[in-house]
Structure 1
Amino acid sequence: MNRRTLLRTTAVLGAAGLTTGASLDAATAATATGTSSPRRGDPLRAQVVLFDGVEELDLAAPYEVLSASDHFTDRDVEVQYVTLDGRRTITAAFGTTLRVDRGWAPEKADLLVVPGGGYARKEAPGVWAEIRRGALPRALAEARRPGLTIAALCTGVMLLSAAGVTRGRPCTTHHKARDLLQEQGGVLKNARVVDDGDLVTAGGVTSGLDLALWLVRRELGVDAALGLEAMLEYEARGTVWTSATRS
């Protein structure tokens, strides 16, 4: 048994309640009554948007959580890094270089995740540079369509704000950007994750874990999220605010 299989098996057993004395029958019954999402034929397709100056943890946390969710559901999950400029190498905030082989194709996604980065350095690569350039905010505004959820974390939310996506919508961002988000028309909520249907936003850097776990719970079911928490040895933290359409 390889390491990933072992982790998956242990996590599934833990999520089923064996560590707390519950039986597998109880877990099976929960599945039968709809606690878990049923299998669907179409894969869940997620794209994580990269740009020069993006924060390493911002891009890695959602990517790993969403990719690993494939182990805890019967539904296929496809996760890709994409850039607006097509295949190229990007340099992240702390110097990590990543080769991205996928170009801009939000029409082929169910989830579009926008990380932040570089917000404290206005003249360096990052969110401010992308806002000044204008191409990425315009592309994000044009990406909106029925069936696509746009999610953002940390200062990546400010790219959505520049695109007009958050105007008049419940949302949150990194604590240092909250005032500006509100000034630009966002309806600020003091929550770790804010789910307003086709727009889901999250707070500072580490909230990428909580954002992704929430998206997994929403799209793939509670059991998938529990299995991930056990595998990652991380428990989702903070409050998730949901709109009336999601409650």
Structure 2
Amino acid sequence: MNRRTLLRTATALGAAGLATGFPTGATAAPTTAAPSGPGSRHPLRVQVVLFEGVEELDIAAPYEVLSAADHFTDRDVEVRYVALDGPRTITAAYGTTLRVGHALAPEEADVLVVPGGGYARREAPGVWAEIQRGALPRALAEARRPGLTLAAVCTGVMLLSAAGVTRGRPCTTHHKARTDLEQQGGVLKKARVVDDGDLVTAGGVTSGLDLALRLVRRELGVDAALGLETMLEYEARGTVWTSGPGPS
């Protein structure tokens, strides 16, 4: 069943009928920047950044929400896992092995999602090890450009902090990393999701669901987010702190 047929079926049967048939991959995307927002016809291109020691739920929740969003809009949504070092197998925080099929290519993305994991385990793989290595924070710093939204879940925000992205910007992170985020120049907001335009951050682990739903509301519209909530049997939690107009 193609996407438009699925949408017609959804209209007739309601969101509950969409419990099966999640997209599992993404096609190649053009490298030029494209208009964004609910009225855009250009595909919404999302890259979820993986690294050794990444938290499983930090990657799975945004990936599933954003991939499933394709069922609730006539705009294409392309979501892929990427790694700085190119296609490879990574081992996540709790031992899950994941095959990453694409290299990080921010010039081909509208949204980069940076997950957390391992920030408190400084002797093990994870965010702290990536900060010490330096390559991923440098790549994130260099990725910034008009039209690209940097989003981060949990201690993935600390990778953006190491990249200098959060300095002087409203943001949030896992409660155990908030002091570090403030000391590094972030303007801490004690909200579950903080939307500061091209920087969207979320708190601890499960808030990846809320981060992704916020991005869906912004980029694809409120109806798409409501349809997802029905399908997922999950209602967005907490108040979104936002620096500008837009659906809350």
- TM-score (normalizing by structure 2): 0.85
2:150 is aligned to: 150
Does residue 188 (structure 1) correspond to residue 188 (structure 2)? The answer is yes
2:27 is aligned to: none
1:13 is aligned to: 14
Query: What amino acid maps onto 1:55 in structure 2?
Result: E
CA deviations 1:205-229 (Å, max 9, x no partner) are: 0000000000000100000000000
Query: What amino acid maps onto 1:37 in structure 2?
Result: P
2:100 is aligned to: 100
SS, match of residue 14 in structure 2: helix
2:130 is aligned to: 130
Cα drift, residue 245 of structure 1? 5.7
SS, match of residue 86 in structure 2: coil
1:210 is aligned to: 210
CA deviations 1:128-179 (Å, max 9, x no partner) are: 0000000000000000000000000100000000000000000000000000
Query: What amino acid maps onto 2:100 in structure 1?
Result: V
SS, match of residue 205 in structure 1: coil
1:160 is aligned to: 160
Note if contact 2:65-2:212 (Cα within 8 Å) is conserved in structure 1: yes
Note if contact 1:196-1:245 (Cα within 8 Å) is conserved in structure 2: no
Show structure 2 runs of 5+ residues with no match.
17-36
Query: What amino acid maps onto 1:232 in structure 2?
Result: L
2:33 is aligned to: none
CA deviations 1:112-132 (Å, max 9, x no partner) are: 000000112111000000000
SS, match of residue 62 in structure 2: helix
- Alpha-carbon distance in 1 for matches of 2:67, 2:195: 21
Cα drift, residue 42 of structure 1? 1.0
Note if contact 1:11-1:231 (Cα within 8 Å) is conserved in structure 2: no
Change (3 A) 1:11 1:162: farther
Of structures 1 and 2, the larger Rg is shown by: 1
Query: What amino acid maps onto 1:76 in structure 2?
Result: D
SS, match of residue 179 in structure 2: helix
Show structure 1 runs of 5+ residues with no match.
16-35
Cα drift, residue 104 of structure 1? 1.5
2:79 is aligned to: 79
Does residue 230 (structure 1) correspond to residue 234 (structure 2)? The answer is no
Change (3 A) 1:225 1:12: farther
Pairwise CA RMSD: 2.0
SS, match of residue 217 in structure 2: helix
Number of residue equivalences: 222
Does residue 37 (structure 1) correspond to residue 24 (structure 2)? The answer is no
Cα drift, residue 14 of structure 1? 5.9
SS, match of residue 113 in structure 1: strand
2:48 is aligned to: 48
Cα drift, residue 244 of structure 1? 3.1
Q: Which runs of 4+ in 1 moved over 4 A?
A: none
1:119 is aligned to: 119
2:26 is aligned to: none
Cα drift, residue 234 of structure 1? 0.2
Note if contact 1:196-1:246 (Cα within 8 Å) is conserved in structure 2: no
Cα drift, residue 246 of structure 1? 5.0
Note if contact 1:10-1:231 (Cα within 8 Å) is conserved in structure 2: no
Note if contact 2:44-2:78 (Cα within 8 Å) is conserved in structure 1: yes
